[in-house]
């Protein structure tokens, strides 16, 4: 029996959330609803400007798959996360958050560079725009991934953000190959429309052998399949994955495999912040599915959890009781 339900590999980032107006996004030359990678000087300039005029709503550990793994841990799963930080204040805060949540930390620390940060800018329509400095998270190497831990894991979770540079792309390929060779199952989340648009070939390189799940939103599905038709996108995605899950925001989610395709309607809620909705969806789905094997119930649970997380600021609930209450509903 595997030691871990899931081993996540992703960018290790500390998130800073700010409430902004659309004029500020335009001034900062940021495209609403997307994630932009910046170098240290540009990122620092933007962050300094924000701190002068605004107060952050939350400061917390982040990163797409790290958030999903965090949710799984809070739902009671035995999980592991691998990433890289520097031995600085930001990196130490990230590692402490991971360890305090009950996640087995396989995060590596280095004495050089600066740890990664993500500025999450939330506009009045509750859409989130991210400005990211990857820092030392982009220095993750193959040797940082524990073959023993991957081999001892049922599901390997890989985030699409990692395909944006050659070093972390090779890490993904190495981990996926190890998982395949040792009988594990692979889950990939496409992460962001621009990542898919600009690094599509890199994502394809991870999919030479069919994986278990692809998670994406509607626009990511269109960018990856290069067609603006959901049914055709689903058919294309199934060339690479046994099961495909496409989230549709408030409209719900579509699931497809070789035998069935169906939609689960979304939940109407008053939203504050869409940050982490997809991350929570993935973590909640994987928790319920690995425990039950029931796709429909897992989708319904994930929908409910994602609908709840957008009612608060940030990608995590402040109180563990929120996770317990969601479990009790199912």
Longest pairwise C-alpha distance within the chain:
55
d(CA 105, CA 83): 9
Residue 258 neighbours by CB under 8 Å, 6+ apart: 238, 242
pTM exceeds 0.85:
yes
**pLDDT confidence bin for 93, thresholds 50/70/90:** very high
**pLDDT confidence bin for 317, thresholds 50/70/90:** confident
Q: How many residues does the chain have?
A: 330
Q: Quote the pLDDT of residue 125.
A: 86
DSSP assignment of 119-133: EEEE-TT--EEEEEE
For the record, the structure tokens of 93 come out as 């805060």
Query: Between 313 and 50, where is the model more confident?
Result: 50
Residue 58 neighbours by CB under 8 Å, 6+ apart: 15, 16, 17, 313, 314
Mean pLDDT of the region 98-120: 95
Percent of the chain with pLDDT over 90: 73
Least confident of 155-164, 224-233, 305-314: 305-314
Q: How many CA atoms lie within 13 A of 151 on its CB side?
A: 6
d(CA 260, CA 314): 34
Residue 275 pLDDT greater than 70, yes or no: no
pLDDT 10s digits, 201-234? 999 999 999 999 999 999 999 999 999 999 999 9
Mean pLDDT of the region 101-111: 96
DSSP assignment of 256-285: E-SS-EEEE-------S--TTHHHHHHHHH
Residue 9 bridge partners (DSSP): 82, 158
Classify the C-alpha dihedral 296-128-231-209 as positive or negative: negative
For the record, the structure tokens of 180 come out as 């395949």
d(CA 197, CA 194): 5
Mean pLDDT of the region 46-51: 89
Mean pLDDT of the region 318-330: 89
d(CA 249, CA 241): 22
Nearest of 136, 87, 85 to residue 111 by alpha carbon: 87
pLDDT 10s digits, 166-186? 999 999 999 999 999 999 999
Average pLDDT over the chain reads: 92
For the record, the structure tokens of 54 come out as 């605004």
Q: Quote the pLDDT of residue 222.
A: 98
d(CA 249, CA 127): 11
Residue 18 bridge partners (DSSP): 121
Query: Between 313 and 71, where is the model more confident?
Result: 71
Mean pLDDT of the region 155-174: 96
Identify whether the C-beta of residue 98 lies closer than 8 Å to the C-beta of residue 138.
no
pLDDT 10s digits, 135-152? 999 999 999 999 999 999
Mean pLDDT of the region 115-122: 92
In CATH terms, is domain 4-10+63-113+138-328 a member of 3.40.630.40?
Answer: no
Domain assignments of the chain as residue spans, ordered by start: 4-10+63-113+138-328
Residue 273 pLDDT greater than 90, yes or no: no
Identify whether the C-beta of residue 9 lies closer than 8 Å to the C-beta of residue 157.
yes
Residue 38 neighbours by CB under 8 Å, 6+ apart: 46, 131, 132, 133
Q: How many CA atoms lie within 13 A of 176 on its CB side?
A: 26
d(CA 174, CA 180): 10
pLDDT 10s digits, 234-272? 999 999 999 999 999 889 999 999 999 999 998 777 666
Nearest of 246, 185, 245 to residue 210 by alpha carbon: 185
Residue 313 pLDDT greater than 80, yes or no: no
How would you classify the pairing of strands 211-217 and 241-247? parallel
Percent of the chain with pLDDT over 70: 97
């Amino acid at each position: 029996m595997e030691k871990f339900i899931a081993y996540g590999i992703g960018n290790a980032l500390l998130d800073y959330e700010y409430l902004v107006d659309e004029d500020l996004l335009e001034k900062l030359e940021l495209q609403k609803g997307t994630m932009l990678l910046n170098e240290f000087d540009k990122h620092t300039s933007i962050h300094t400007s924000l701190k002068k005029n605004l107060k952050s709503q939350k400061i917390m550990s982040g990163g797409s798959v790290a958030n999903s793994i965090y949710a799984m841990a809070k739902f009671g799963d035995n999980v592991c996360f691998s990433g890289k930080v520097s031995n600085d204040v930001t990196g130490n805060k990230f590692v402490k958050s991971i360890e305090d949540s009950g996640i087995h930390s396989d995060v590596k620390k280095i004495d050089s560079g600066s740890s990664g940060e993500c500025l999450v800018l939330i506009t009045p329509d509750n859409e989130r725009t991210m400005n990211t400095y990857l820092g030392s998270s982009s220095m993750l190497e193959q040797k940082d991934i524990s073959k023993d831990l991957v081999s001892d894991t049922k599901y390997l979770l890989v985030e699409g953000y990692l395909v944006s540079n050659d070093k972390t792309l090779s890490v993904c390929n190495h981990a996926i190959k190890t998982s395949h060779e040792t009988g594990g199952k692979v889950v990939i989340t496409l992460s962001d429309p621009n990542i898919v648009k600009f690094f599509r070939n890199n994502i394809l390189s991870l999919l030479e052998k069919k994986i278990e799940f692809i998670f994406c939103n509607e626009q990511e599905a269109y960018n990856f399949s290069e067609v603006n038709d959901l049914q055709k996108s689903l058919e294309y995605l199934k060339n690479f994955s046994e099961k495909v899950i496409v989230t549709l925001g408030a409209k719900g989610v579509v699931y497809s495999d070789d035998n069935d395709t169906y939609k689960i309607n979304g939940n109407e809620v008053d939203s504050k912040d869409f940050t982490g909705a997809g991350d929570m969806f993935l973590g909640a789905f994987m928790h319920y599915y690995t425990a039950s094997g029931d796709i429909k119930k897992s989708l319904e649970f994930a929908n409910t959890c994602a609908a709840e997380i957008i009612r608060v600021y940030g990608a995590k609930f402040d109180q563990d009781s929120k996770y317990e209450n969601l479990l009790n509903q199912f």
